[in-house]
Amino acid sequence: MDHFSYRDGRMFAEDVALDTIAAEVGTPVYVYSRATLERHARVFREGLSGLGKIHLAYAIKANPNLAVLRVLANMGYGADVVSGGELARALAAGMPAHDIVFSGVGKTREELAFGLDSGIGQFNLEHEPEGVALAEIAHQRGLRAPAVLRVNPDVDAGTHAKISTGKADNKFGVAIADAPAIYARLAALPGLALRGVAIHIGSQLGDLRPLETAYASVGRLIAELRAAGHEISHVDLGGGLGVPYREGESLPSPADYGAMVTRATKGWDVELMFEPGRVIAGNAGVLLTKVLWVKPGVRHPYVIVDAAMNDLARPALYDAWHDFAAVAPSGERMIANIAGPVCESGDTFAMARDIDAVGEGDLAVFRTAGAYGATMASTYNSRALVPEVLVDGDRYAVVADRIAAQTIMGAERVPDWLT
């Protein structure tokens, strides 16, 4: 459930009309709803009630805007970060360092040191050499780095290939069969306080069974590690819960997920950690856009909007579906293709889609754009970097400026030897 709904024929974000934001901030613009973010954060936590002490680390890659992070920090969420840049954001937003988990397959030594010096709560090690490097850096500082080992369970998450992470040939984690030996070697290093394992098999999961299978193999691994004398106190179960992108689509709820986790982790006796991203932010945002032209097409007209693949990359990258709705629908429908201004055929949001009839100058939204939207934006075709707005009841604030193409050009220079 979200807080984007129609009142008297106009779409509102909470109590703010989207046409007001379009008039005052311009389009394209991402619009987030604080109430929706808070609701999702609450519902996800409630789904996991009954699991004892848990740790919630919002995967900030989904939407790292500082204002969004502040909302979630206020809801008691920590952060799952995958780069020094994300770590800096989580800290800047006021997330306590000890609530931050550092994931990612390519952390540099500098990033590991940054994490240590910031006093973060946990490093999720992706492979043995990374663990050895972290142990060295920590040891030099007289520290023991809290860490878990990420394992790859070789499970097909049943999601888009580009966002699947738990298959044997994906780049993530160590093969679960190799984990006991690697764990033993890392646990012996004085610079590490190795305390458990981590897993994350993919994103936009619509079926809980692959997750349950993966968690079962983690359960067997924990037993094996304990039998070898290791103390296992933390297990990070990752993120991945999907959200509905199409009206009427039904996905497992946080409560369904919680019930599965309760079943799958029975008797583990550890602190469970979670890294939800999309399920928190996805439905809490829309991309507000304006129709520039309606251009005749061979079979269907092309609705050319002012948002493009550089603003919302998901359809071009993953053939992802985002519902499209007029801000002030007339009640008429049309079958159309929806595309942006970028000079690639890939800059197409939908083909032959049954949509609200729209014409030049009309406003519309792509829904469910709060996760992996603005954060994946680029300036391709020398377009401005899309701005972001956070709505809270009847007020809103621009929480990220539109960065003009001229500003970006200002960071470039032609060397004076290039005559």
Q: 253 catalytic, yes or no?
A: no
Question: Is 314 known to sit in a ligand binding site?
Answer: yes
Smallest distance from ligand LLP to CB 390, Å? 19
- Specify the residue for token string 């060295």: 136
Smallest distance from ligand LLP to CB 334, Å? 28
Residue pair 164/201 in contact by the 8 Å Cβ criterion? yes
Longest CA–CA separation in the chain, Å: 72
Scanning 298-383, the segments in alpha helix (DSSP H) are 314-318
Q: Residue 30 or residue 372: which is nearer to ligand LLP going by CB?
A: 372
Q: Residue 275 or residue 362: which is nearer to ligand LLP going by CB?
A: 275
Residue pair 234/270 in contact by the 8 Å Cβ criterion? yes
Smallest distance from ligand LLP to CB 47, Å? 13
Name the token pair of 384: 């401005």
Q: Residue 324 or residue 396: which is nearer to ligand LLP going by CB?
A: 324
Q: Which amino acid is at 175?
A: A
Question: Is 332 known to sit in a ligand binding site?
Answer: no
Smallest distance from ligand LLP to CB 80, Å? 5
**Which residue of the set 168, 343, 352, 397 is catalytic?**
343
Question: Is 277 known to sit in a ligand binding site?
Answer: yes
Burial status of residue 219 (CB atoms within 10 A of its CB: 0-12, 13-18, 19 or more): middle
Interface residues with ligand LLP (CB under 6 A) are 59, 62, 80, 103, 163, 165, 200, 203-204, 238-241, 275-279, 314, 318, 372
Residues for the chain: how many in total? 419
Residue closest to 258 by CA, chosen among 220, 215, 288:
215
Residue closest to 18 by CA, chosen among 5, 1, 2:
5
Angle at the Cα of 149 from the Cα atoms of 172 and 216, rounded to 5 degrees:
80
Q: Residue 80 or residue 392: which is nearer to ligand LLP going by CB?
A: 80
Question: Is 78 known to sit in a ligand binding site?
Answer: no
Question: Is 249 known to sit in a ligand binding site?
Answer: no
Question: Is 359 known to sit in a ligand binding site?
Answer: no
Partners of 30 in the beta sheet?
Answer: 287, 388
Smallest distance from ligand LLP to CB 128, Å? 18
Binding site for pyridoxal 5'-phosphate: what residues are annotated? 240, 275-278, 372
Binding site residue list for substrate? 278, 314, 318, 344, 372
Supply the residues annotated as catalytic: 343
